[in-house]
Chains A and B, each alone.
Chain A
Amino acid sequence: MSRAVNTASQTDRTYSRLLKRETQKKLWAYVFILPQTIMFMAFVAYPIVMSYVYSMYEWNGIGPRENFVGLKYYGELMSDHIFWNAYKNSFLFMLTTVVTQLPAALLLALVLNSPKLRLKVLYRTTYFLPVVTSSAVVAAVMRYIFGQRNGVFNEALMMLNLIEKPVPWLSSMDYALFTIALISSWKWLGIKLVYFLAGLQSIPNEVYEAAMIDGANRRQTLWYITIPLIMPVGAVILMLSVVDGLHAFDLVKVMTDGGPGIATQTVDLYIYTTAFAGIPSIGYASAAGIFFGLSIFAVSLLLGWIVKTANAKGGK
């Protein structure tokens, strides 16, 4: 009898100890997420909300924010030619990088993914190298390489008899934006390569074995197995590239600072200039930022929809 009571109270004690331990654990969990929560609230959530709020005030960033103007700045943006020039430039820049970078990265990934290829790591390291470098510093070096006079690129092209006289890569209205976009493609190709390689490696080997047993040759395997299976990863990479390509800043700022004239001014550069150079107009810059953010959001939704319907069709 006494023994049974004893055991019962022991279980009771163990149970309450466990309960106490659980409560303590939960308390500690809150302590553990606290630093991150503070950082998140202060540097992610608050700035997102405030960039919407700022866009409705006439404000130079100094003194109190009193002059509420509603959606006035959004209206002004619609007829701001300089903004639309930047808008067009950002999309041109993005299109140039996506069109040049993704096919090249996929092709290179397919080559580097072949199981028998040697020196794989060396090649991957080589093509990835520009990714780890600072855009601003690279841009400073590229200013010289693509300079009109004494530029190594022009000299090399002339030596190969591809051009007769130096081309003004960065000082011509027609070439500058594309030159920087191609440099951006070079800079970031390595990361897309690694994304594609990760996607290719996630295709199970059995699929290839099955194709081999069915007598598929290499080209058939590529077209009917590898490419369709890499498409979902490809869609994610495309989405990332579009968003990254629309946020061109570092390279442009250092290489041409938007010039010649405003020929290479992107939206990010336009907003930076509006907010931090001369007499700052925080409200107007914020409105431009919100409008561009919404545009990118719309583009992503559209792309997502296209990919989804294409997949649904392909699936049947």
Chain B
Amino acid sequence: MNSRITRLSTHALLILFGIIWIFPFVWMLSSSFKSNREYLGGGLDLIPDAIQWSNYKRAWEVANFSTYFNNSIVLTVAVVAIVVVTSALCGYALGRVNFKGRTLFLFIITSTIFIPKGYTIIPIYMLIKQLGLLNSMPGVILAEAGGAQILFILLFTAHFKGMPGELEESAEIDGAGFLRTFFRIMLPLSTPIIATTILMQFMWTWNSFLTPLIFTLNTPDLRTLSVGMFSFIGQYQSDYTGLTAAASIALLPVMIVFIALQRYFVEGIAGAVKG
């Protein structure tokens, strides 16, 4: 009896705090369907009088969120592709081949996590500028993809290292070369790691703010959703419902992907701290 009361009250508390926890998102969604007048007088009432799709239309067309949305997609897809390919290739070489300089390579990339860095976005900005890629999408992509992939390299390395040697040998006996073994045998067996990498990098890039902010200071047409949100505040300060609609446009895709695939997100992040 006693334990049942404990259990029920635990659930009650978890649910109560859970509702408070996600209240900002519920409120955002609810406000995005209200009219500005209802918003100002509505207080805590979460059910809109009449659904106002015009807020979304305004955010999408007038406030340019269609452009921002496209930019976010282009940036995220490109960065995720670059990161998956480069870290999978690198992890395979490190995990399966004992080449000269392997230990040194691993030592150098892991030690950069610990050494005190400066404000490295400034040299990256200057580098992109020297490459002539300032004010262009490829410039933003490079700046965003170039950073810390150490975690993914280590995940791939550990994964490929743990695969049985017989797999490789039997492929070689069948006459498969290095490339064929990698693409036909090893890579298809790495889908969990690839999925983790895609999800985590997707989340980071989609939500990234500082890098796209710096690289699109003079080019509004290249802005992503996060940066677009920031310029929205400056331009349409008092369009409350337009802003909440814009925020819903920016947040809902990631939230839906997360809820659908939450297990992989959580396992990836837990694996990152354990490994």
Decide whether A and B assemble into one complex. yes
Q: Is B172 in contact with chain A by the CB < 8 A criterion?
A: yes
Q: Is B90 in contact with chain A by the CB < 8 A criterion?
A: yes
Selected contact of B119 from candidates A117, A125, A130, A286, CB within 8 Å? A286
Say how far B196's CB is from chain A's closest CB, in angstroms.
Answer: 13
* Interface 9-mer from A39-47, A85-93, A174-182: A39-47
- A sample of 7 more A-B contacts (CB under 8 A), given A46-B123, A127-B18, A136-B229, is A32-B93, A33-B89, A43-B143, A47-B123, A48-B112, A127-B21, A133-B207
Please list the residues of chain A having a beta carbon within 8 angstroms of any beta carbon in chain B.
Answer: 21, 24-26, 28-30, 32-33, 35-37, 39-40, 42-48, 50-52, 54-55, 61, 111, 116-119, 121, 123-130, 132-138, 140-145, 150, 152, 155-156, 159, 186, 191, 194-195, 197-199, 202, 233, 236-237, 240, 249-250, 253-254, 271-272, 275-276, 282, 285-286, 288-290, 293-294, 296-297
Say how far A25's CB is from chain B's closest CB, in angstroms.
Answer: 5
* A159 & B44 in contact (Cβ 8 Å cutoff): yes
Alpha-carbon separation in the docked complex, A127 to B254 (Å): 15
Q: Is B230 in contact with chain A by the CB < 8 A criterion?
A: yes
* B89 & A152 in contact (Cβ 8 Å cutoff): no
Given the known A-B contacts A134-B209, A195-B270, are A44 and B90 also in contact in the complex, defined by CB atoms under 8 Å? no
Alpha-carbon separation in the docked complex, A250 to B210 (Å): 7
Alpha-carbon separation in the docked complex, A253 to B117 (Å): 22
| Residue from A44, A118, A137 with most neighbouring chain B CB atoms (10 Å) | A137
* B229 & A254 in contact (Cβ 8 Å cutoff): yes
* B209 & A289 in contact (Cβ 8 Å cutoff): no
Given the known A-B contacts A194-B266, A293-B118, are A132 and B22 also in contact in the complex, defined by CB atoms under 8 Å? no
Say how far B179's CB is from chain A's closest CB, in angstroms.
Answer: 7
* A136 & B227 in contact (Cβ 8 Å cutoff): yes
Selected contact of B146 from candidates A39, A52, A286, CB within 8 Å? A39
* B232 & A271 in contact (Cβ 8 Å cutoff): no
Selected contact of A191 from candidates B122, B255, B269, CB within 8 Å? B269
Question: What are 13 A-B contacts with C-beta separation under 8 Å?
Answer: A39-B149, A43-B143, A51-B118, A51-B122, A117-B7, A127-B18, A129-B25, A136-B207, A136-B227, A197-B270, A285-B119, A286-B118, A297-B116
Say how far A301's CB is from chain B's closest CB, in angstroms.
Answer: 10
Please list the residues of chain B having a beta carbon within 8 angstroms of any beta carbon in chain A.
Answer: 7, 10-11, 14, 18, 21-22, 24-25, 27-28, 31, 40, 43-44, 85-87, 89-90, 92-94, 96-97, 99-100, 102, 105, 108-109, 112, 114-127, 142-143, 145-149, 153, 172, 177-179, 203, 206-207, 209-210, 213-214, 217, 225-227, 229-230, 232-233, 240, 243-244, 247, 250-251, 254-255, 258-259, 262-263, 265-266, 269-271, 273-274
Chain B residues, CB < 8 A from A272: 210, 214
Given the known A-B contacts A48-B112, A125-B262, A198-B270, are A143 and B233 also in contact in the complex, defined by CB atoms under 8 Å? yes
Given the known A-B contacts A132-B254, A137-B247, are A152 and B93 also in contact in the complex, defined by CB atoms under 8 Å? no
